[in-house]
Amino acid sequence: MISGIEMTVRLAETAPGPRGPAAYHTLQFMMRPTRFVERMRRDYGDVFRVRALALKGLGVMSPELAKEALAVDPEAYAALSAGLKGVVGDFSLFSTFSGDHKRQRKLLNPRFHGQRMRAFAQTMQDVARAHFAKLRPGDRVAMLDVGQRISLDVILETVFGSGGVDRERVRDIVSSMLDGFSPAAIFSVALQTPLFPPWRRFLARRARFDAFVTETLRERRARPTPGDDILGVLLEARYEDGSALSDEEIRDHLITLLIAGHETTAIAIAWGAYWLCREPGVKSKLREQLPALGDDPTPEALTKHEYLGAVCDEVLRIRPIVVDIARPVVRDVRVGEYTVPAGETIVIFFEAMLKDPKIFERPEEFRPERFIGKRYTATEFMPFGGGHRRCLGAAFAEQELRIVLGTLVRELDLELESNEPEPSKRRNVTIGPARGVRVIVRGKV
């Protein structure tokens, strides 16, 4: 039971925050998330009242408050987002909470870490090399497009690699689904109606994906073994009671992997290329160090290279792909001096921590050296989220980014088309380069 003293610090009465229509603040965060976060930090400090169309609650912007929020009993939190649930399905890790979520994580966590994920490293390197080999001196390309092609092929190879599927058909089905949903429908569940044309279009494209998954699962289950790709991993997985995942569970996990893994990795690759072009000293240092790995370094050697890892971490810090974590509350939760009542949401704006000069000296500068010999806490540097809902594919994504950028540095010489800084813009739930990082291929290394 909450004491009378605590009742006096309910959010509605005490938390500072912006006034005006919730629709206006939602639009600001959708269109200019980084500017919105900076303004909230400037005007209200480490904590403020969140008022948006789909939620209201408490926004926090310090590692200490983030740690408190993430240390709360997971049973106090609901699924991440009702809007996202409509996209990824009822059985996605994004949609489940409490005991169901814990049961899923216990089943899936060991299968998305360790040796099984490292086994996909060679596929990542092969796909990156194949795409870079297609580029010729004088070509002008958007690295976001290149990154999307690489990340999609990596997903197709690692998810369906043992299936003997028609690659072009699957690429068309998956690409159209990923391109088909509107971020507005995620921020407002009311738009998830056939009356909203973008949502109607997404449902039609997801129906094609659902039919493909049903067909593929039927074919896989008829085999003696399910295969050694991610789809095979999901087919062979068993809960503690011996039960297998249903077709609906597998479909929702696959949609989650595709949406969470394809776009985010593509954006990270594009930003990585951008900073390597803008910071020739960083690129030169990598080119001096990487030859020590040999003429044909293994993907494992690239993933373990200290400075390459620091470059990738700095890419994720200076241009975070997602800027916040939302935790809907199902029972009263205390964070700092505030009580967040059931039905509201705690939003951790971790971009504010990634740009905090008290944590990262001169945060506006691209300085990979800040990650050499320095370990940050789990809430100071959290590009993949944190707590019991930390991104399941974080190890996979980190490995892929290191391998792709390491391969890029070794094989291509790129130059930015423009010296103007590349702004960020919202793409859906992610934040990416507004112009796609357009480059000129100067030659092979």
- Nearest Cα neighbor of 323 from 351, 360, 355 is 351
Name the DSSP letter for residue 224: S
pLDDT per residue of the chain (445 residues) written in tens, 0 to 9: 334 444 444 554 588 998 888 888 888 888 888 889 899 999 999 999 998 887 889 999 999 999 999 999 999 998 766 677 888 888 998 888 888 889 999 998 887 877 777 789 999 999 999 999 999 999 999 999 999 999 999 998 998 886 667 888 888 898 888 777 676 777 678 888 999 888 999 999 999 999 999 999 999 999 988 888 899 999 999 999 999 999 999 999 998 888 878 889 999 999 999 999 999 999 999 999 999 999 999 999 999 999 999 999 999 999 999 899 989 999 999 999 999 999 999 999 999 999 999 999 999 999 999 999 999 999 999 999 888 888 888 889 999 999 999 999 999 999 999 999 999 988 877 899 999 999 999 998 8
**Residue range of the domain that includes 137:** 4-444
- CA atoms of 316 and 360, how far apart (whole Å): 13
Predicted TM-score (pTM) of the model is 0.91
Per-residue model confidence (pLDDT) at position 4: 40
pLDDT of residue 8: 46
Main-chain dihedrals φ then ψ at residue 135, nearest 5 degrees: -85, 140
Residue 61: its pLDDT value, please? 95
Domains of the chain: total: 1
Q: For position 102, which CATH number holds?
A: 1.10.630.10
3-class secondary-structure state, position 421: coil
- Residue 242: how many CB atoms within 10 A of its CB? 6
